[in-house]
């Protein structure tokens, strides 16, 4: 069968683990050649490339800290040069730093903005120079854009709400070029961002389905938005949260 993304090229930021790695695997399985960035996990990045190549598909990893705008720009340029063009950008890199507003440091505030918001803008700005009509931009946000749920999540929630608003604006900017821009907003998901089993137990009680999401489920929604079937979808925020908001 013809794969839906055959002949397409993709870049995923923060792609060595969690939702990012699941997205890299899914896009590659759907036929795309995939580049991904990572900040520190050399072993995991190399293992993921080897896994995809063992299945006869194309992938490569680029070490780039999303807090560094020049590194993000270089990663996009390297991807476009390697593949000859860029069809799909998935902004997945993100960090979660908790703290009540009266104790949250300005340095942590600035770093969360740099990774969770500025890096998205920088990557999109660099990517659209290499995108043709039919291009796809997808950002992994968070359901906390609509509901923080816990004390100590105010800054993280703010960054994810900013990404949702930025997405709507960029959809207007790029619609005339045939490029779609959307956000996926996961709820609590089984990744190393939620490693504490006691916390997971509390989260399960807040979900209508009584379980956390899987990284592959989030990647499936990303893959849909990257596919030809989603050509009329833009400027949207897709909640995938197991009923967290219900």
Q: Where are the domains of the chain?
A: 9-240
- Per the annotation, the verdict on 38 as an active-site residue is no
CA 209 to CA 240: how far, in whole Å? 12
Place 200 in a pLDDT band, splitting at 50, 70 and 90.
confident
Whether 121 has a pLDDT exceeding 60, the answer reads yes
Predicted pLDDT of residue 140: 98
CA 234 to CA 12: how far, in whole Å? 19
pLDDT tens digits for range 41-100: 899 999 999 999 999 999 999 999 999 999 999 999 999 999 999 999 999 999 999 999
Interval 8-19 mean pLDDT = 97
Place 3 in a pLDDT band, splitting at 50, 70 and 90.
confident
Which class is domain 9-240? alpha beta
> Of 38, 156, 224, 244, which one is the catalytic site residue?
156
Predicted pLDDT of residue 42: 92
Quote the mean pLDDT of the chain: 95
Side-chain-side CA neighbours of 105 within 13 Å: the count stands at 4
- From its phi and psi, is residue 127 left (phi > 0), alpha (psi between -120 and 50) or beta? alpha
CA 89 to CA 107: how far, in whole Å? 28
């Amino acid at each position: 069968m013809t794969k839906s993304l055959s002949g397409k090229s993709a870049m995923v930021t923060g792609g060595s683990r969690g939702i990012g790695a699941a997205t890299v695997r899914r896009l590659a399985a759907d036929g795309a050649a995939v580049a991904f960035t990572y900040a520190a996990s050399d072993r995991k990045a190399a293992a993921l490339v080897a896994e995809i190549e063992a299945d006869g598909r194309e992938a490569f990893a680029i070490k780039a800290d999303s807090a560094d705008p020049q590194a993000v720009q270089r990663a996009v340029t390297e991807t476009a040069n390697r593949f000859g063009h860029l069809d799909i950008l998935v902004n997945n890199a993100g960090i979660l730093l908790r703290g009540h507003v009266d104790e949250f440091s300005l340095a942590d505030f600035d770093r969360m903005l740099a990774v969770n918001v500025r890096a998205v803008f920088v990557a999109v700005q660099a990517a659209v120079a290499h995108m043709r009509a039919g291009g796809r931009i997808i950002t992994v946000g968070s359901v906390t854009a609509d509901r923080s749920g816990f004390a100590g999540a105010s800054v993280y929630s703010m960054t994810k709400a900013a990404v949702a608003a930025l997405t709507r604006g960029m959809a207007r900017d790029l619609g005339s070029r045939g490029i779609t821009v959307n956000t996926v907003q996961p709820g609590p998901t089984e990744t190393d961002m939620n490693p504490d089993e006691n916390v997971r137990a509390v989260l399960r009680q807040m979900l209508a389905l009584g379980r956390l999401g899987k990284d592959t489920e989030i990647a499936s929604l990303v893959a849909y938005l990257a596919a030809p079937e989603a050509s009329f979808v833009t400027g949207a925020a897709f909640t995938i949260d197991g009923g967290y908001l219900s």
